[in-house]
Amino acid sequence: MSNYVKRFSAFDRVVHWVLAVAFFVLLFSGLALFAHTFFNYFDFFGGPQQGILAHKIAGIFFLITSVLLFFTQIKDTCRFDADDAKWFGAFGGYLSRSKIDIPQGKFNAGQKLYAIFAIIAATVLGLTGYVIWDPTAMERGLTQWSLMLHGLFFVLIIVGAVIHIYLATIGNPGTAEGMLWGRVRRVWAKKHASKWYKEVTGDSD
Amino acid sequence: MARKAFMIDSSRCTACRSCQVACKQWNKLPADAAINWGSYENPPSLTAHLYNKIEFIEKEQDGKFKWLFLNQRCLHCGEAGCLKVCPSTGALFRTEEGLIGFNKDKCISCKYCVNGCPFDVPRYDAQGKITKCHGCIDRVAAGLQPACVKACPTGSLKFGDRDKLISEAELTGLKLYGDKALSGLGAMYLLEEKPQEYRLAENPNIPQSIFLWKDVIKPLGILGFWGAIGAVMLHYVTVGPKRPDEDDSSNQNQGGEKHE
């Protein structure tokens, strides 16, 4: 019996990593526009105009991959049950070293919440990004509020990304394997997603 | 150096538009085609080639027609929305006289200043670079009057020591606009009517959205990022990672340390 369980298809993984690359292109070009401290990040792109162009192109990739990722995972991310309520009640067990045993589906309640947050953030950033594509093309008030919202969701998504990256790597060893190679270890699946594990393997233990 | 400013006495303006012409001459700006839109006011709005402009505001008073004339331009705010949002240091800058100039070579065409301005003044030229009234900083640095002031035949436009202009203005009995707003405007108006009659905001301010963006969200972003980094580091060394159950030791690739 293989020690591994298949978790993400090659398509899921490629979409996720295109999204991740787009995110970092957006991050560095966006930071250069956001604060004087980071203005020199434009040098990575060959100059400010090129940096802004890169931001726009990466934005299109980011929006498309965000939508793809959300809709391909939607059946596992948008339904919450009683176990999820328990999971939230215990903060996912992240506040203590003692083991908790709350059965979870393919994604735990926190991951579901992050998926929903991510699609909302991507949508808001995409829509406001469209408005400020040319900041003199549309009505001034609309453009000004779009600049503000774009900044707000940028800040929120940065905080989200820090937590996401931590929890998916060193915070939960073994998790990243799923997104890198498509499979996770059985022990990982039993610990983190026992309902999903039973569902895909038929194992009852 | 004491702050310098424009004082624009609307009651003395005859709308001769010498200021518009002198500005174009000094700044080597081409003419914009006038359009027929039912007003002498032309062009209808500031353009990339038009740094100042007379507004022709038509009023009816006691059954008689009346014009209000107002010289529209960059007001060189003490607290300037354009400077607040400009990402490229030096593209917009304040001179030691307190005027706000621009450097097209440093402008990155982001157009943030257009949206940061409380008075909708900055314009972009065909090359995508910022333009606006810069107060003839080159002339002022050489001890000359700005071109528009030099050309004004009625004394409607004045330029000089800001405090002195304000104390002189107080003697006229007209309404002084902009002495306090936005940490003091660098171009103030003397008005016969309420500011609203001149299409001016009574209490001009940095747009609320822009204030939230740069003065609230940005500092919260710094706090949020480092807060999140701090929180995950703290979590890693206190609670620690959640490792899969270790009964399956043949698949451990996490090194020697064990929890639980």
Which of B87, B221, B240 faces A39 most closely, judged by CB atoms? B87
State both tokens at B251.
Answer: 């698949």
Query: Can you name the residues that pair with B101 across neighbouring β-strands?
Result: B93
Q: Which of A3, A52, A187, A203 to mutate to test the interface with B (most CBs of B within 10 A)?
A: A187
Segment holding B219, helix H or strand E: helix B218-237
CA gap B169, B166 in Å, rounded: 5
Assigned superfamily of A10-181: Transmembrane di-heme cytochromes, Chain C (1.20.950.20)
Contact B203, B181 (CB under 8 A): yes
Q: How far is CA B248 from CA A85, A195, B145, B253, in A?
A: 30, 19, 84, 11
- For chain A, percent of residues with pLDDT exceeding 70: 98
Report pLDDT digits (tens) over A60-117. 999 999 999 999 999 999 999 999 999 999 999 999 888 888 999 999 999 999 999 9
The pLDDT assigned to A21 comes to: 98
Contact B10, B192 (CB under 8 A): yes
First to last CA, chain A: 15
Report pLDDT digits (tens) over B40-74. 998 999 999 999 999 999 999 899 999 999 999 99
What is the Rg, in whole angstroms, of the alpha carbon atoms belonging to chain A? Answer: 19
Domain boundaries, chain A: 10-181
Q: Does B90 touch chain A (CB under 8 A)?
A: no
Q: Does B227 touch chain A (CB under 8 A)?
A: yes
Report the candidate in B218, B186, B8, B165 with the shortest Cα–Cα distance to residue B94: B186
CB-based contacts of A137, cutoff 8 Å, min separation 6 = none
Report the gap between the CA of B190 and the closest CA in chain A (Å). 28
CA gap B166, B155 in Å, rounded: 15
Report the candidate in A168, A90, A154, A162 with the shortest Cα–Cα distance to residue B231: A162
Instruction: Quickly name the fold that domain B4-206 has.
Output: Alpha-Beta Plaits (3.30.70)
CA gap B185, B71 in Å, rounded: 14
CA gap A135, B253 in Å, rounded: 51
ipTM (interface pTM): 0.92
What mean pLDDT is reported for chain B?
93
pLDDT above 90: residue A2: no
